[in-house]
Structure 1
Amino acid sequence: MRAVEVARLDLADPDLARRTLAVRRGEGIHLVYLDDLSTDLAADWLRERRRRWPQATNPHLLITSQTYRHPASPQISYCAMRAAFDQIGLLPRQVQADRILDEARETADPVHLVRLFGIHPGIAVKYVHAAHPDEALPRIR
């Protein structure tokens, strides 16, 4: 997921019972399947959000002390999201690229990457080529 997609998430987007996260992309919804760690972290955040801001009126999943009761209900700012990443010395896009590359190492299947991450087929092939430079895949036009 891109940082802007994370910022747009609403409280209704995670479905912890089904272990999914509905991500709005353009006119459609991309369903992200959550692993055990991600499901646990999402549940922990929802509990913390309710504990810290029980009167929150902002419908976004991620909120801050400045946005939880803001009349305009804004999404979390990129700067607020970046603060968490700055603590570990990474950019959000680096985490995304690393995650896609790791999956490409495991599967070597560009179609799987397209379905899992919602990326363009040409980008998926580039990740597979980077993960498996010794194996030639046919070019996608």
Structure 2
Amino acid sequence: MAGRAHRRWPASINPHLLITAQTAFDPAHPEVGAETVNRPLRRVGHQVGRLRRDRILDEARSNCDPLHLVRLFGIHPRTAITYLYAAHPGRFRPDVIAP
């Protein structure tokens, strides 16, 4: 599926993950709404936020670089560290100085 979409919109300037034929080349069109994505997922017992958190955690398990998580998902560095702690609980010592 990703290959097919890339062939259709290889030079898309739209920064969003989910795009339509109208928004692929013109980000001025409204982005795909959260409710459009959430409604069918809720019917089968899923939530977009949980899926995103699971995806970030999975990436943290395979890559211990917080900067990679920050760049890939646009999260705050502290959030990236939290995901790394969760993904590798025995690997890091707690920081007693940090708030």
TM-score range normalised by the length of the shorter chain: 0.5 to 0.7
- Structure having the larger proportion of residues in strand: 1
Change (3 A) 1:109 1:137: farther
> The residue matched to 2:15 in structure 1 has which SS?
strand
For these two proteins, the number of residue pairs brought into alignment is 87
Q: 1:109 to 1:102 in 2, by over 3 A?
A: same
The Cα shift of 1:19 comes to 8.6
Following the alignment from structure 1 to structure 2, what is the Cα–Cα distance between the partners of residues 19 and 100? 26
Superposed displacement of residue 76, structure 1: 4.3
The reply on whether 1:130 has 2:86 as its aligned counterpart is: yes
Structure 1 gaps, min length 5: 1-14, 25-31, 33-41, 50-58, 62-72
116 and 107 in structure 1: CA distance in 2 versus 1, 3 angstrom threshold: same
Ranges in structure 2 where 5+ consecutive residues have no aligned partner: none
Query: What residue number does 1:89 align with?
Result: 45
Match of 1:120 among 76, 94, 98: 76
Contact persistence 2:14–2:23 (CA under 8 A): no
Question: What fraction of aligned residue pairs are identical, expressed as a percent?
Answer: 33
The equivalent of 1:60 in structure 2 is 23
Deviations 1:54-83 (A, max 9, x none): xxxxx336xxxxxxxxxxx65544332211
TM-score, length basis structure 1: 0.48
1:102 aligned counterpart, secondary structure: helix
Name the structure 2 match of 1:16.
6
